[in-house]
């Protein structure tokens, strides 16, 4: 259909989400005889396990099995990359809540009660509970890696001004509404079907196969949708699914593992907290001449995906700016926290905040306007556009989003009004802040940038669409359906959307790095095109015209003359009768990516997505509380596949980012136990925290490169970075260039 691509079609499940008819995993009909599994969490953050006492749990009513590490049929290893990450702690406990055993029982209540009856003799070891503590004698999980250019020592020595800084940035709990959950159903001959709330069915398949000691071909992982994921169901979903599968294998019956929220929050990884230490050299105008920075991430107790997070933080540490001489060192240290993981932005937001910390303090030191200092240092224009790792940014788009967001907000008028307000109000202070971001799109590991799809056309003209991407609320399924409807030029309701399954499309990547529609869109496009070309051949033979003249248009297939027309359904049936296959797979691999991790050089991204935001806040100097009064966002989505979905992503990401930087605080007690494990102690934004004036729009007339999917751009993660405008507005209101994040009322009051 002419109006399918680029149309603001609603999410395919919008109505069923709103009416409660959309099925999440816990709504799926439970198989007969299904059992329930529960995890036994470790009571301490660090210690040597002398003995695990499971007899009382095994004797608990309804208990079918208590699974200890030595009972795991295959390997006790759930590492998403490499190996050596235990599913059940063996020998040592590395973080509080680390699973020690799995209990399987008839009911969930029995399983949870029996799990609480497991005890362990653990000899305590001193835990490492902060980045600063870890840095005293660091155990590096990743790196540290160095990105450098120019003669740093000379440039620093020659700089007219120098300044150094230190900033702390907290982690973030994903707080997906649907918690981690898996349903494992054992079949014949070692088969295992696992319904999993996962962004990464293939990794789930691999991890399940490893713990079961089965080939991948025996394991099928399926996911219709997640109730939110945000990176939290990339690797963590895999071990949840694996635990359910081990329980099903040992009990010989289907079982479900659904974590209580408190345990979900304690036992699954979070966004990496970061510590920034830097020195900058600059001139009297605020032009940065030399930057020496060290970024350290809290990786938690094990590697997980910290390698990728560090790489993305490093490649985003200059964000949209240019500094001629620099050294940025970034690594992840081991601590006795839960292993930190992917979270919307995947280290990119943490990396990109470095420059705003620096620019804000430089502007303050010079008494200059931050936006003038920002503009002076943008990549492109007078400055080189190339990033320190060797890939060019589009300086004109950087400047466009900055100018447009400021124009939308009426920056100068806001400034004047805020000054007048602050001059008269005794205790409230307003502030204005901006943020500009350039976010690289592609998985940091080049080979992950591939996708597959499977498309069937049936003889009534209806189409069944399957691809490797997963739906977590972001609208991927409707976007890919739009792509396929566009290829066949049929109405959107001809497309039957299906659950993601390792059985239909194998060897997939996670739906992550915002690449879902870029990768799966092309794969589905290619599958659909294969079938369309075959159908065109059938139509050409029927009409007696050249294949090149066949045109698919608005549900019809046209030849050269006016009376040469068939409905899409008629042609489908005709193709079947001609014994032409109406089923095809499609594949896509992003071209031109290259990355040398050791040298920190290459072209790791297919393109960049640009965005800018302006936020206005008011703070109460007596309580430290604040409100975001307005926000104006401009996000580059290329030529959007679906502007309504994209706007939802922009708004949602911004508010989620606001929560990260202002109210969401992870708090561990002195023993290293996370105590913010529920909504009463961990404050995510609510509807009333959304700015009353909130304008999010897509950058106009900015098509992506010609070989992108219909010239669209990815949108899932980039707008999260724009929330840093709120942090800048808070710094402005407080008159303090240094504010650690999250800027909780306590922190703001102290400042």
Shortest distance (Å) from residue 711 CB to ligand MTE: 17
**Shortest Cβ 295–ligand MOS spacing (Å):** 18
Nearest distance from residue 653's CB to ligand MTE, in Å?
A: 7
Please work out the total of residues on this chain that contact ligand HPA, with binding judged by CB under 6 A. Answer: 13
Which helix (H) or strand (E) covers residue 434, if one does?
Answer: strand 428-441
In sequence order, which residues have a C-beta less than 8 Å from that of residue 750 and are 6 or more positions away?
624
Stretch (H or E) spanning 374: helix 370-377
Q: Which does 228 bind (CB under 5 to 8 A by kind): ligand MOS, ligand HPA, ligand MTE, none?
A: ligand MTE
CA angle 236, 241, 244 (to 5 degrees): 130
Chain residue at closest Cβ approach to ligand HPA: 513
253's contact among ligand MTE, ligand HPA, ligand MOS, none, with CB below 5 to 8 A by partner kind, is none
- Among residues 227, 231, 444, 475, which is the contact residue for ligand MOS, using CB under 6 A? 231
Near ligand MTE by CB under 6 A: residue from 494, 501, 609, 649? 649
Verify whether residue 717 is a known catalytic residue: yes
Q: What x/- string results for residues 349 through 388 when contact with ligand MTE is judged by CB under 6 A?
A: ----------------------------------------
Main-chain dihedrals φ then ψ at residue 197, nearest 5 degrees: -85, 90
Q: Which does 308 bind (CB under 5 to 8 A by kind): ligand MOS, ligand MTE, ligand HPA, none?
A: ligand HPA
Q: Are 475 and 11 in contact (CB under 8 A)?
A: yes
135-146 burial by CB neighbour count: b if 16+ within 10 A, else e?
Answer: eeebeebbbbbe
Which position among 264, 664, 717, 740 is part of the footprint of ligand MTE (CB under 6 A)?
Answer: 717
**Does residue 342 belong to the site contacting ligand HPA (CB under 6 A)?**
yes
Q: Using CB distances below 5 to 8 A depending on partner kind, what does residue 737 bind out of ligand MOS, ligand HPA, ligand MTE, none?
A: none
Q: Figure out which of the listed residues 443, 606, 607, 710 binds ligand HPA, where binding follows CB under 6 A.
A: 443
Q: Give dist(CA 211, CA 242) in Å, integer.
A: 7
Site string for ligand HPA, 494-513 (x = CB under 6 A): ----------------x-xx
| Separate counts of helices (H) and strands (E) for the chain | 19, 29
Rounded CA-CA distance 425/610 in Å is 37
Q: Cβ(366)–Cβ(358) under 8 Å?
A: no
3-class DSSP string for 460-473: CCCEEEEECCCCCC
Q: Give the H/E segment covering residue 67.
A: strand 63-67
Tell me which DSSP letter residue 638 carries. Answer: B
Two structure tokens written together for 565: 């027309």
Closest by CA position to 195, among listed 28, 22, 20 = 28
Q: Which does 473 bind (CB under 5 to 8 A by kind): ligand MOS, ligand HPA, ligand MTE, none?
A: ligand MTE
Q: Tokens 């001059």, residue?
A: 423
Q: Rounded distance, CA 91 to CA 110, Å? A: 27
Nearer to ligand MTE, 344 or 525 (CB): 344
d(CA 65, CA 434): 56
Q: Which of 308, 473, 719, 742 binds ligand HPA (CB under 6 A)?
A: 308
The rounded distance, in Å, linking the Cα atoms of 732 and 370 is: 9
The reply to whether 344 sits near ligand MTE by the rule CB under 6 A is: yes
Give kind and range of the element (H or E) at residue 587: strand 583-589
Site string for ligand MOS, 189-208 (x = CB under 6 A): ----------x---------
Contact status: 721 vs ligand MOS (CB under 6 A): no
Nearest 10 degrees: CA dihedral of 11, 16, 20, 24?
-70
Which is catalytic among the residues 471, 592, 717, 746?
717
Instruction: For tokens 């691809």, name the residue.
Output: 467
Is the peptide bond between 325 and the residue preceding it cis, with omega within 30 degrees of 0? no
Under rule CB under 6 A, residue 234 binds ligand MOS: yes
Cα(41)–Cα(269) distance, integer angstroms: 14
Instruction: Confirm or reject binding of residue 604 to ligand HPA (CB under 6 A).
Output: no
Considering only residues 456 to 475 of the shown chain, the ones binding ligand MTE according to CB under 6 A are 472-474
Q: Does 220 bind ligand MTE (CB under 6 A)?
A: no
Residue 343 interacts with ligand MOS (CB under 6 A): yes or no? yes
Q: End-to-end distance of the chain based on CA atoms, in angstroms?
A: 57
Q: Is residue 516 within the footprint of ligand MTE (CB under 6 A)?
A: yes
DSSP structure class, residue 674:
B
Does the footprint of ligand HPA cover residue 201 (CB under 6 A)? Answer: no
Measuring CA to CA, which residue among 465, 462, 464 is closest to residue 453?
A: 465
Q: Report if residue 448 touches ligand HPA, rule: CB under 6 A.
A: yes
DSSP 8-class letter at 271: B
Residue 254 or residue 716: which is nearer to ligand HPA going by CB?
716
What number of other Cβ atoms are within 10 A of residue 690's Cβ? Answer: 14
| Binds 278: which of ligand MOS, ligand HPA, ligand MTE, none (CB < 5-8 Å by kind) | none
444 binds ligand MTE (CB under 6 A): no
- CA nearest neighbour of 226 among 472, 590, 455: 472
Stretch in the footprint of ligand MOS (CB under 6 A) among 204-212, 237-245, 343-351, 445-453: 343-351
Residue 659 within binding range of ligand MTE, rule CB under 6 A: no
| Of 226-234, 309-317, 321-329, 675-683: span binding ligand MTE (CB under 6 A) | 226-234
Closest approach, Cβ 421 to ligand MOS, in A, equals: 38
Closer residue to ligand MTE, CB minimum distance, 13 or 501: 13
Helices (H), 611-744: 643-662, 724-734
Binding to ligand MTE in span 474-503, by CB under 6 A: 474, 476
* DSSP secondary structure, 93-151, as one string: E-STT-EEEEEEESSHHHHHHHHHT-EEEEEE-PPP-SHHHHHHS--EEEEEEEEEES-
Which residue is nearest to ligand MTE, using beta carbons?
A: 516
Residue 180 in the binding site for ligand MOS (CB under 6 A): no
Nearer Cβ to ligand MTE, position 364 or 467? 467
Nearer to ligand MOS, 99 or 228 (CB): 228
85 to 268, 338, 429, 549: CA distances (angstroms): 14, 12, 49, 58
Please state the length of the chain.
Answer: 751
Q: Does 488 help bind ligand MOS (rule: CB under 6 A)?
A: no
Total site size for ligand MOS, rule CB under 6 A = 10
With binding defined as CB under 6 A, does residue 312 bind ligand HPA?
yes
What is the Cα–Cα distance from 63 to 72, expressed in whole angstroms? Answer: 18
Is residue 46 at the binding interface for ligand MTE, with CB under 6 A as the rule?
Answer: no
**Binding piece for ligand MOS, criterion CB under 6 A, among 17-25, 40-48, 58-66, 340-348:** 340-348
Question: Which spans of this chain sit near ligand MTE (rule: CB under 6 A)?
Answer: 228-231, 344, 472-474, 476, 511-517, 649, 652, 714, 716-717
Question: Which spans of this chain sit near ligand MOS (rule: CB under 6 A)?
Answer: 199, 231, 234, 342-344, 346, 512-513, 717
Question: Which spans of this chain sit near ligand HPA (rule: CB under 6 A)?
Answer: 234, 305, 308, 312, 342, 346, 443-445, 448, 510, 512-513
Task: Just list the catalytic residues.
Answer: 717
């Amino acid at each position: 259909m002419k109006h399918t691509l680029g149309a603001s079609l609603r999410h395919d499940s919008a109505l069923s989400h709103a009416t409660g008819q959309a099925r999440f995993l816990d709504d799926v009909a439970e198989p007969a005889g299904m059992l329930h599994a529960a995890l036994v969490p470790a009571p301490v953050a660090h210690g040597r396990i002398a003995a695990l006492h499971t007899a009382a749990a095994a004797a608990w009513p309804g208990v079918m099995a208590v699974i200890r590490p030595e009972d795991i049929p295959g390997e006790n290893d759930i590492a998403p990359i490499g190996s050596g990450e235990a599913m059940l702690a063996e020998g040592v406990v590395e973080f509080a809540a680390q699973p020690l055993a799995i209990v399987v029982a008839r009911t969930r209540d029995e399983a949870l009660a029996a799990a609480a009856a497991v005890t362990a003799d653990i000899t305590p070891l001193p835990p490492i509970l902060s980045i600063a503590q870890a840095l005293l004698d660091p155990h590096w999980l990743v790196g540290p890696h160095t990105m450098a250019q120019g003669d740093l020592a000379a440039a620093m020595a020659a700089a007219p001004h120098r300044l150094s800084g230190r900033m702390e940035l907290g982690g973030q709990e994903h707080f997906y509404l649907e918690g981690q959950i898996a349903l494992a159903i054992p079949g014949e001959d070692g088969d295992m079907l696992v319904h999993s709330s996962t962004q990464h069915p293939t990794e789930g398949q691999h991890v399940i196969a490893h713990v079961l000691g089965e080939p991948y071909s025996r394991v099928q992982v399926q996911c219709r949708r997640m109730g939110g994921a945000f990176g939290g169901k990339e690797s963590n979903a895999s071990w949840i699914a694996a635990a359910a599968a081990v329980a099903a294998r040992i009990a010989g019956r289907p079982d479900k593992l659904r974590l209580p929220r408190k345990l979900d929050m304690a036992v699954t990884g979070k966004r990496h907290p970061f510590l920034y230490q830097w020195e900058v050299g600059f001139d009297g105008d605020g032009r940065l001449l030399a930057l020496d920075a060290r970024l350290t991430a809290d990786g938690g107790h094990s590697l997980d995906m910290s390698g990728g997070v560090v790489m993305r933080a490093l490649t985003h540490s200059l964000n949209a700016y240019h500094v001629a001489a620099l050294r940025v060192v970034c690594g992840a240290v081991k601590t006795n926290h839960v292993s930190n993981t992917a979270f919307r932005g995947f280290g990119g937001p943490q990396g990109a905040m470095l420059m705003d910390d620096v620019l804000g303090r430089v502007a303050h030191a010079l008494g200059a306007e931050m936006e003038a200092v920002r503009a002076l240092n943008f990549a492109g224009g007078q400055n080189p556009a190339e990033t320190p790792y060797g890939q060019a940014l589009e300086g004109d788009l950087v400047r466009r989003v900055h100018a447009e967001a400021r124009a939308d907000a009426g920056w100068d008028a806001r400034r004047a009004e805020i000054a007048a307000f602050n001059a008269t109000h005794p205790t409230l202070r307003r502030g204005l802040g901006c943020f500009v971001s350039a976010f690289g799109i592609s998985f940091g590991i080049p080979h992950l940038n591939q996708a597959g799809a499977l498309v069937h056309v049936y003889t009534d003209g209806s189409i069944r669409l399957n691809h490797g991407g997963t739906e977590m609320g972001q609208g991927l399924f409707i976007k890919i359906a739009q792509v396929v409807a566009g290829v066949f030029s049929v109405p959107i309701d001809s497309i039957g959307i299906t659950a993601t399954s390792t059985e239909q499309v194998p060897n997939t990547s996670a739906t992550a790095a915002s690449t879902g529609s870029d990768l799966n869109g092309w794969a589905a496009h290619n599958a659909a095109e294969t079938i369309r070309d075959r159908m065109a051949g059938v139509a050409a033979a029927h009409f007696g015209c050249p294949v090149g003249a066949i045109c698919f248009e608005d549900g019809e297939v046209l030849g050269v003359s006016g009376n040469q027309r068939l409905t899409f359904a008629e042609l489908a049936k005709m193709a079947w009768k001609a014994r032409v296959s109406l089923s095809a797979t499609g594949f896509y691999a992003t071209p031109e990516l290259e990355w040398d991790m050791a040298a920190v050089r290459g072209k790791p991204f297919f393109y960049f997505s640009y965005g800018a935001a302006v936020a206005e806040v008011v703070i109460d100097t007596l309580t430290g509380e604040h409100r975001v009064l307005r926000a104006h966002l401009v996000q580059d989505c290329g030529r959007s596949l679906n502007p309504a979905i994209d706007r939802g992503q922009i708004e949602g990401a911004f508010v989620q980012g606001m929560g990260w930087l202002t109210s969401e605080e992870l708090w561990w007690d002195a023993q290293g136990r996370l105590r913010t494990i529920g909504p009463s102690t961990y404050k995510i934004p609510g509807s009333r925290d959304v700015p009353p004036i909130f304008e999010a729009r897509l950058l106009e007339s900015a098509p992506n490169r010609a070989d992108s999917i219909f010239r669209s751009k990815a949108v899932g993660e980039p707008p999260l970075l724009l929330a840093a405008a709120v942090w800048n507005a808070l710094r402005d209101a407080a008159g303090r260039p240094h504010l650690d994040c999250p800027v909780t009322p306590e922190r703001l009051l102290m400042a």
